[in-house]
Amino acid sequence: MTGSCKVLICRNYKGDVDMAEIDRFLPLLMQHEEEGLLCPVLSHGKVHFMWIKHSNLYLVSTTNKNSNASLVYSFLYKIVEVFTEYFKELEEESIQDNFVVVYELLDELMDFGFPQTTDSKILQEYITQEGAKLEVGKSKVPTTVTNAVSWRSEGIKYKKNEVFIDVIESINVLVNANGSVMSSDIVGSIKLKTMLSGMPELRLGLNDRVLFGLTGRDKGKTVVMEDVKFHQCVRLSRFDSDRTISFIPPDGESELMSYRINTHVKPLIWIESVIEKFSHSRVEIMVKAKGQFKKQSVANNVEVRVPVPSDADSPKFKTSTGQAKYVPEKNMVVWTIKSFPGGKEFLMRAHFGLPSVENNELEGKPPVTVKFEIPYFTVSGIQVRYMKIIEKSGYQALPWVRYITQSGDYQLRTNV
């Protein structure tokens, strides 16, 4: 549905919910929004609406049963993913422009309320935007659809067999106003770009402490992963029994696994901020940023976002490095530092005027947020020890590894 809840396209999989029920959705949504009690599940009579919003579109599913809610949301997000891969952008126009394909996809994605094939790469093998060119007889169901390996087709060929491994760690930090770290964790993700022929068997070795514990090895630094999540290609039962990460990778880009590490990390970029608000006259902001990581490393594209009152005006800045910019539509100052070496400390001062007439509206207390990227480095110290690639044709393949650490949900509360 569009932002104004005009139904763009719909598919009634079970026929147990009247299609007219969707007309109830908008009033319900508005009512909840007004009451400030927005909720992902709304219900009217016996009909329940589970919805998500993507850019300007609502994806709404209706049911009158005790459906599996987590399945529904996972599926809705999957639809977004598939449509985005098909149409680049999922928006009103792309739906209208491709409504025939959209119908076809909806049929393939779900049957009678049961999600079916949702892997866009596989779907693209038999549902294409150039549907007109496909003649009956030519198009066949790729065996992949129902294969145990439903994420990779057979017969893929590359001249040069390579696989690129990106280890990306995001740091989530929550610091309260008096500077103590309330919570911090690392969410890591290992992404693959696979350019391998045939049906290769891959095995990934990490310096996982549990694995080392199992094999009795005790060399070098190891990492304890609190929780690990895998792409469906990874044999979970194998991992569960001996911590081996073995899989047949999907072709092209994919996220192989993600993990969470609970260790207390020192916030890599430490921010001290003093925001002084003098009612009716001015706001003075002083922000000190310190790189708390190794001197050899450099953080790139650092952005420190400092909240300012919505009625502030006439900004003035002074920075020891980088550039500060006022973004009035977001009520914040964005201080950008292109390159921030470890161990260094920088300062930014900002001055805003405040109108003499007090703004009556209460404002929240948004935190200072920070964005950054530190290449060639992982906070947790996780390492790819090996990537074994075995294919029956016996070709040699090269794995490439890249490490990067970046900011995740990085919030420092302020005292104003």
Partner 1 sequence: MTDSKYFTTTKKGEIFELKAELNSDKKEKKKEAVKKVIASMTVGKDVSALFPDVVNCMQTDNLELKKLVYLYLMNYAKSQPDMAIMAVNTFVKDCEDPNPLIRALAVRTMGCIRVDKITEYLCEPLRKCLKDEDPYVRKTAAVCVAKLHDINAQLVEDQGFLDTLKDLISDSNPMVVANAVAALSEIAESHPNSNLLDLNPQTINKLLTALNECTEWGQIFILDCLANYTPRDDRESQSICERVTPRLSHANSAVVLSAVKVLMKFMEMLPKDLDYYGTLLKKLAPPLVTLLSAEPELQYVALRNINLIVQRRPEILKHEMKVFFVKYNDPIYVKLEKLDIMIRLASQANIAQVLAELKEYATEVDVDFVRKAVRAIGRCAIKVEQSAERCVSTLLDLIQTKVNYVVQEAIVVIKDIFRKYPNKYESVIATLCENLDSLDEPEARAAMIWIVGEYAERIDNADELLESFLEGFHDESTQVQLQLLTAIVKLFLKKPTETQELVQQVLSLATQDSDNPDLRDRGYIYWRLLSTDPVAAKEVVLAEKPLISEETDLIEPTLLEELICHIGTLASVYHKPPSAFVEGSRGVQHKRLPGSAGSGESVESPDPGAAATETPPAVIPSQGDLLGDLLNLDLTPTTTTGPPPPTTSGMQMGAMDLLSGGLDSLVGLLHQGPPSLSASPSTTTLGGDIGGNPAMGAAFGAAPATMPASFNAPGSGGLDDLFDLGGGVGMPMGALNPPKAVWLPAMKAKGLEISGVFVRRAGVIQMEMTLTNKAMSVMTDFAIQFNRNSFGLAPAGPLQILTPLSPNQSIEPLNNLQVAVKNNIDVFYFSCQYPISMLFVEDGKMERQVFLATWKDIPNDNESQFQIKDCHLNSDAASNKLQSSNIFTIAKRTVEGQDMLYQSMKLTNGIWVLAELRVQAGNPNYTVSSISLKCRAPEVSQCVFQNYEAVLKN
Task: State which of positions 348-387 bind partner 1 (CB under 8 A).
Answer: 362-367
Determine which residue in the list 5, 21, 26, 43 makes contact with partner 1, applying CB under 8 A: 43
> Could you say whether residue 39 binds partner 1 (CB under 8 A)?
yes
> Could you say whether residue 309 binds partner 1 (CB under 8 A)?
no
> Could you say whether residue 68 binds partner 1 (CB under 8 A)?
yes
- Sign (positive or negative) of CA dihedral 81, 82, 86, 87: negative
Determine which residue in the list 18, 89, 111, 242 makes contact with partner 1, applying CB under 8 A: 111
Which of 140, 262, 251 is closest to 194 using CA atoms? 251
How many CB atoms neighbour CB 164 within 10 A?
15
Report angle CA 147, 151, 156 to the nearest 5 degrees.
Answer: 95
Closer Cβ to partner 1, 119 or 291, answer by number: 119
Closer Cβ to partner 1, 50 or 206, answer by number: 50
> Could you say whether residue 145 binds partner 1 (CB under 8 A)?
yes
Determine which residue in the list 31, 56, 116, 314 makes contact with partner 1, applying CB under 8 A: 116
> Could you say whether residue 104 binds partner 1 (CB under 8 A)?
yes
Closer Cβ to partner 1, 9 or 327, answer by number: 9
- Interface region with partner 1, contact rule CB under 8 A, candidates 114-122, 158-166, 280-288, 382-390: 114-122
Distance CA 125, CA 34 (A): 45
Are 201 and 390 spatial neighbours (Cβ–Cβ below 8 Å)? Answer: yes
* 142, containing H or E segment: none
Determine which residue in the list 56, 74, 279, 301 makes contact with partner 1, applying CB under 8 A: 74
Closer Cβ to partner 1, 96 or 301, answer by number: 96
Determine which residue in the list 4, 15, 278, 392 makes contact with partner 1, applying CB under 8 A: 15
Query: CB neighbours of 116 closer than 8 A, spacing ≥ 6?
Result: 108, 109, 110
- Interface region with partner 1, contact rule CB under 8 A, candidates 58-66, 194-202, 292-300, 331-339: 58-66
Q: At what angle do helices 69-87 and 99-109 cross, to 10 degrees?
A: 140
- Residue burial 14-45, b: 16+ Cβ < 10 Å; e: rest: eeebeeebbebbeebbeeeeeeeeeeeebeee
79 Rama sector, left if φ>0, alpha if ψ -120 to 50, beta otherwise: alpha
The encoded tokens of residue 316 equal 């003035």
Distance CA 51, CA 22 (A): 11
Distance CA 295, CA 162 (A): 33
> Could you say whether residue 210 binds partner 1 (CB under 8 A)?
no
Closer Cβ to partner 1, 148 or 157, answer by number: 148
Closer Cβ to partner 1, 236 or 390, answer by number: 236
> Could you say whether residue 64 binds partner 1 (CB under 8 A)?
yes
Tell me which residues in 262-291 interact with partner 1 (CB under 8 A).
none
Tell me which residues in 214-233 interact with partner 1 (CB under 8 A).
226-232
